[in-house]
Amino acid sequence: MAGLKSGAPAPQNLTVHSQSRVLEVSFSDGANFRIPFELMRVYSPSAEVQGHGPGQETLQTGKRDVELESLDPVGNYAVQPRFSDGHESGIFSWDYLYFLGSEQERLWQDYLDRLGAANTDRDAPMALKAGSACASH
């Protein structure tokens, strides 16, 4: 299937749990992940979040209560979520969803460490980025 590394597990089922704000994804290797919307939003693969190269990432804050408004298929290799804060430019490949699910404990800790280093917290409003070439949401 396009968008998957050779031999990578294929998605079998995606379920949006709006009340608990998690995306449940089941894969062909038996892995089942419950990925919080906040984690998806904070680690969106979009240029707005990741930047255009190493060191250009934008620390996301104020995303604890973000909701998933829609989840649209992109070919047969990914989905594109639209979040309640207006962010909709990230395309989440199956490989990336598997990565988020399997590494979420490490990713959460990395996120908390980056928040601490920036002397801010998860609920702080997003700071406006001066001179940003990407749209801010």
CATH of the domain at 58: 3.30.2020.30
Which residues span the domain enclosing 18? Answer: 11-117
Report the number of distinct structural domains present in the chain.
Answer: 1
59 inside domain: yes
How far is C-alpha 24 from the chain's CA centre?
13
What lies within 8 Å, CB to CB, of 84 at 6+ separation is 66, 67, 68, 69
Q: Mind listing the pLDDT tens digit for each residue in 73-86? A: 999 899 999 999 99
Q: Mind listing the pLDDT tens digit for each residue in 14-42? A: 999 999 999 999 999 999 999 999 999 99
Residue 129: which pLDDT band, with cuts at 50, 70 and 90? low
91 inside domain: yes
4 inside domain: no
Percent of the chain scoring above 90 in pLDDT: 78
99 inside domain: yes
124 inside domain: no
pLDDT at residue 6, as a whole number: 72
